[in-house]
Structure 1
Amino acid sequence: MALLRTQADERLSAILHLNIAVFLFAMPAIISKFANLSPVSVVVGRGLFAGLALWSALSFRSTATYSISARTLRITALLGVLYSIQLWAFFKSVSVSSPALAILCFCSYPLFTTFLEPKFFDTQLRTESIVSVILVALGLAIVTADAGFDGASMDGIAWGTLSGALFAVISLINKAALRTVSAVELGFLQNLFILLCSLPFLLLEMPSLTTTNIAQLLFMGVVCSAFGQTLFVSTFKRVDVQIASIFLSMEPVYAALLAYVFLGDSPSTALCIGSILLVGASICSTRK
């Protein structure tokens, strides 16, 4: 009985951490659009500040070990490359369309993880996950259709969906990597390789950043990336990636809430209906 209670507590803790992480993930799209930051400057800035924050966290951990195997370095290098492409694709979607559409298309992520995870790991395809994915697909379809399908929107949909597909693969590789390294170590190495992959593009597109822009990148890097990603990835030890991906589909709901509070953007009827379906999908995914 005590073991079951402990497992239930760990699951509830993971669900809380997932919601906090997804809330933080919703912020950068709105900040970058408002600040008119280029995709390259956002990727490099986030990678730099997130890497520094995680390196500092590792330095203050007395129990930290730094004996990283060559295999782990190869995996994190691959993750860094994939993350760089994924982040660039996402912020490209934001720049050519809108934060709302980019986030919605990125949230196609559960559609990929639900069917890929059983292939990567020896896990069952849960009925609850299939029902949740159907609810996610319906919610995204309603809101995306309401956004319209002009040229810019179609470009945004393409880049956003690519971002979601890549994030699905990244999450599954992260889950496997957590068997040998901690979430903080994994996050630090990933952001290091993101920075190395992105720097050449920064040289081709040197942005003109104000003090405010640097503060915005600092917040996105330390709070949204370093803390948010570490929190999100750490839950993979307690819940399936399928469940985590369903919670990530809540990102448009949090983004709409942030846009309403800080930008005064009232959500449309379609967004409200879609949000209800996405919340329902998250609740359904937690059923045992």
Structure 2
Amino acid sequence: MKNQHLKYVLELTFATLLISTSGALGRFIDMPAPVTIWWRSALAMLLLLAFCKYKKVNLKIQSKRDLGAFIFSALFMASHWITYFIALQLSSVAIGMLALFTFPIMTTFLEPIFSKTKFDYMHLILGAMVLLGIYILSPELDFESDSVKGILFGLFSAFCYAMRILILKQYVTKYNGSSLMFFQLLIISIVLLPTLFLLDTSNITTQFPYVIILALVTTAIGHTLFVQSLKHFKVSTASIIGSTQPVFGIIIAFFFLNEIPTWNTFFGGFLILSTVVIESLRSRKDS
């Protein structure tokens, strides 16, 4: 049981690392956010379709109620991705990712409403630690610049991400993680298709290699593993463990975008990583 728990924690951490590449890629890719998200979704959807066919994963939606939930979760996911990329483009990888990672706080308040489980007050303390870590990590802001807009978009993205996870959590035991991600990507691809005709898509010829990485590594593999991990953790637990994303993202941005972290980054990162260790130990006892 202990080895299994460690395996699940490592899988979730690996998924978090893959998803964290979205920060540098979202900042680097030079296209309108909705267009980038369409390409990301459509390519990842095709990759997952091929994978599901190879693995003979059932892609049948079992009821209209399930379909409605998948549509709502996909709309929240599309909104999350678009506003997150806008936040990255307006500010920086650090600001965009740190604003997004208020979502663990949001899930601690929202999860009892969705699952009708007893509220765990320990998550308030851990969430406060994450928030303090984010506060320490945050660079000085000029409130007359685009940074504030980036933070606001990041906060709305966080809310959408929390809602998407909470909706999908109810279906992770009923559907395969790959099929859940496939349904979401298919819906997003359909909804965002008009953006190809309304916005500038000419840069796709030069940005295509980076979009492929975003679709394959970040989306098809990273998000599928994350959804799959919800079978083994509460949403709030997965959210807090996933809070290492800003740390990974800032490190990736340092190597690939030359965004240099400060000492605050290390202190804030230490606090966030501390919550991961604490929550991992707590969830291990409950396993």
- TM superposition score category, shorter chain reference: over 0.9
Quote the Cα distance in structure 1 between the aligned partners of 2:61 and 2:27: 40
Question: Equivalent residue for 2:6?
Answer: 12
8 Å contact from structure 1 (residues 89, 162) kept in 2: yes
8 Å contact from structure 2 (residues 73, 163) kept in 1: no
Question: Equivalent residue for 2:177?
Answer: 183
Of 219, 222, 230, which residue of structure 1 is paired with 2:224? 230
Question: Equivalent residue for 1:159?
Answer: 153
**Which amino acid in 1 is paired with 2:270?**
I
8 Å contact from structure 2 (residues 57, 176) kept in 1: no
**Does residue 1:170 correspond to 2:144, yes or no?**
no
Q: 1:126 to 1:262 in 2, by over 3 A?
A: same
Question: Equivalent residue for 1:130?
Answer: 124
8 Å contact from structure 2 (residues 44, 185) kept in 1: yes
Of 214, 232, 236, which residue of structure 2 is paired with 1:220? 214
Query: What percentage of aligned pairs have identical amino acids?
Result: 26
Quote the Cα distance in structure 2 between the aligned partners of 1:90 and 1:192: 20
- Between 72-81 and 51-60, the greater mean CA deviation after superposition: 72-81
8 Å contact from structure 1 (residues 11, 239) kept in 2: no
Quote the Cα distance in structure 2 between the aligned partners of 1:285 and 1:15: 10
- Between 253-262 and 233-242, the greater mean CA deviation after superposition: 253-262
Unaligned stretches of 5+ residues in structure 1: 1-5
Post-superposition Cα deviations, 1:257-281, rounded to whole Å, max 9, x if no partner, equal 1122233433101111111111111
| Length-normalised TM-score, structure 1 | 0.92
**Does residue 1:35 correspond to 2:33, yes or no?**
no
Quote the Cα distance in structure 2 between the aligned partners of 1:69 and 1:124: 29
8 Å contact from structure 2 (residues 141, 148) kept in 1: no
| Length-normalised TM-score, structure 2 | 0.92
Question: Equivalent residue for 1:3?
Answer: none
**Does residue 1:78 correspond to 2:104, yes or no?**
no
Quote the Cα distance in structure 1 between the aligned partners of 2:52 and 2:37: 22
The 3-state SS of whatever aligns with 1:179 is coil
Of 175, 190, 212, which residue of structure 2 is paired with 1:196? 190
**Which amino acid in 2 is paired with 1:158?**
L
Written as runs of structure 1 = structure 2, the 5 A alignment for 1:54-65 is: 54-62=48-56, 64=58
Quote the Cα distance in structure 1 between the aligned partners of 2:23 and 2:81: 11
Quote the Cα distance in structure 1 between the aligned partners of 2:262 and 2:213: 29
- CA deviation after TM superposition for structure 1 residue 65, in Å: 5.5
**Does residue 1:44 correspond to 2:31, yes or no?**
no
- CA deviation after TM superposition for structure 1 residue 223, in Å: 1.5
8 Å contact from structure 1 (residues 131, 284) kept in 2: no
**Does residue 1:140 correspond to 2:140, yes or no?**
no
- Between 89-98 and 29-38, the greater mean CA deviation after superposition: 29-38
Quote the Cα distance in structure 2 between the aligned partners of 1:67 and 1:255: 35
